[in-house]
Structure 1
Amino acid sequence: MVNEAKPTLFIVHGGWHVPESYKKLTGALESRGYEVHLPRLPSANGTRPPNADLFTDSLLVRNYVESLVQAGRTVVVIMHSYGGQVGSNALCGLGLQARAKQFLPGGISHLIYMTAYAVPEGSAMMDKVKEFGNMDLVPLVFDFADDDSCLFRDPKGLMVGHGAEKSEVDAYVNTFVRWNGKSMYQATEHAAWRDIPVSYIYTTADMTVPLAYQQNIVKGLEKAGCKVQTFELETGHCPNLTATEDVVQIVEKVIIG
């Protein structure tokens, strides 16, 4: 049963993922009485050639969350991987404080980046890869087609890693879809983290967004004047699967404050 005293949770999924990929996490959160919203991003619609990208995804997330806050909801946004790029770009001006100043109800109380990209305006995910001098690894990790759609070459080993039963990992990876890889190269226009409270979940065994990238991202936020509450999980890139209960506990800690 949904507890109306709890904030509404909104999850922005990562590349290659779809809502079904997060059923273990959404089930755990719902069992705690949270209402969870997790729409499928258009860039993961499987269309060939791709007809949606970062900006299409941002528009969907913006409209969806805006409808929640306009209804007076307090919303906590959880962003995974590429989802951080989408949420950052989409959610400016929807914070609780910003809306309260305009005498408007509802708003986003927290942004939780789960091994996710949170970069300044005008930056793309791949800019971080370039910054670390790792562009030569891109074709080894991603299988790009001529139409820029792509698959992850070794999702079990490089993305999921340890922490789940083989049957669980198999089922999880089977939810993955061909994704518009061009989205990784598109720069954000906005940075919602500038005026909404931020938490970041580090994943120390991550081989998709390495810990050094994550730490660098947080350092950039702090340098920009953003206070970041951090948490650390000894897991790979998909803690929603491999450290589900830990993620739930972190979400509840963020909410309680």
Structure 2
Amino acid sequence: MASTAPSQLTILLIQGSFQLPEVYRKLTKALEARGYPVIHPLLPSLAVLRRLVEEKSRTVLVLMHSYGGLVGSEAVLDEFGWNKRKDRGLTGGVIYLFFFAAFVLAEEAEYWTSKIIDQSYAVQTTKLTRAAYRYIPSTYVVCGNDQGPPPQYQEMWGKNAGSIMLRINSGHSPMLNKTDELVNMIVEAAHGAIKNAY
């Protein structure tokens, strides 16, 4: 297994909802130990990715867990794609997407969100405007023992996205109990993306 990171590849981690960054600390430390800078914003937004790509010319792998699959896919504009930027004579860009136990939906699909307003839940539906897997290659890791989004749904989402499909014998949070196995999958995907790009 390769132990060093491809030159200048940065990982942008988009976490699931109802989770704090502390839940991902074991994963981020393990990736950093393998040589990968990890950016993990508490509240991810388009601005974070734009800064990495356009201002810092970073080559980025977007790592998405659970609900973060919707947030991340929505944030990756077509113009941020590594190949698109290369064709324009620019460096950096999003080179790969990595989903694990992540929600992955098509454009115009509706999904619901909830938040507490005046001590009660308010539910609203939101439509996605883009699906980054259409123009960025990806891997999807199905968590076989997940008690959240069922594994069969994860299989469907990954296949619909045209992702490379992998499986891990884990519940919804493999970054906690299958950290090394998950890191190895991410590292292999990163090396493959760089190899294919160059």
Residues 1:231 and 1:209: Cα distance change in structure 2 (over 3 Å): same
In the TM superposition, residue 6 of structure 1 has moved relative to its aligned partner by 4.6
Contact kept, 8 Å, 1:117 with 1:125, in 2: the verdict is: no
In the TM superposition, residue 8 of structure 1 has moved relative to its aligned partner by 0.5
CA distance in 2, matches of 1:206, 1:39: 25
Partner of 1:244: 179
CA distance in 1, matches of 2:48, 2:57: 13
Aligned length: 187
Q: What secondary structure is seen at the aligned counterpart in 1 of 2:27?
A: helix
In the TM superposition, residue 99 of structure 1 has moved relative to its aligned partner by 1.1
Asked if 1:255 corresponds to 2:190, the answer is yes
Question: Radius of gyration: which is bigger?
Answer: 1
TM-score by length of 1: 0.67
TM-score by length of 2: 0.85
In the TM superposition, residue 17 of structure 1 has moved relative to its aligned partner by 1.1
CA distance in 2, matches of 1:242, 1:125: 29
Percent identity, aligned pairs only, is: 33
Partner of 1:67: 51
Asked if 1:78 corresponds to 2:63, the answer is yes
In the TM superposition, residue 254 of structure 1 has moved relative to its aligned partner by 0.3
| Greater helix proportion | 1
Partner of 2:38: 36
CA distance in 1, matches of 2:105, 2:118: 26
User: Gapped runs of 5+ residues in structure 1?
Assistant: 42-56, 127-141, 151-180, 223-227
Contact kept, 8 Å, 2:141 with 2:165, in 1: the verdict is: yes
Partner of 2:150: 210
1:190-233 Cα distance to aligned partner (Å, 9 max, x none):
111110111101100011011111111123223xxxxx211110
| Greater strand proportion | 2
4+ long deviations beyond 3 Å: 144-150
Residues 1:148 and 1:213: Cα distance change in structure 2 (over 3 Å): farther
Structure 1 counterpart of 2:89, which letter? F
RMSD: 2.4
